[in-house]
Amino acid sequence: MKIVVCVKQVPDTSEIRWTENNTMIRDGVESILNPFDEYALETAIRIKEANPDTIITVLTMGPPQA
């Protein structure tokens, strides 16, 4: 079995600030793995543990640190 998990790096929601124009201020805010994507990755890992022949591929898009 082959599983592809798409993940995205997002700002840590506990540290988000907004400008007066409702624009997110990302300066100084740590980026984290989207929590919902983390659930998907964990599910893929559980499937692999039950089926060792499974291959997991994780894809992301974004700046180099992603």
Q: Which 3 state secondary structure label does DSSP give 26?
A: coil
Residue 19 above 90 pLDDT? no
Query: Of 4-8, 19-23, 40-44, 62-66, which range is least confident?
Result: 62-66
Confidence of residue 32 (pLDDT cuts 50, 70, 90): confident
pLDDT value at residue 27: 75
Across residues 20-24, what is the average pLDDT? 82
Instruction: Give the predicted TM-score (pTM) of the model.
Output: 0.73
Cβ–Cβ under 8 Å, residues 56 and 44: yes
Residue type for 42, please?
E
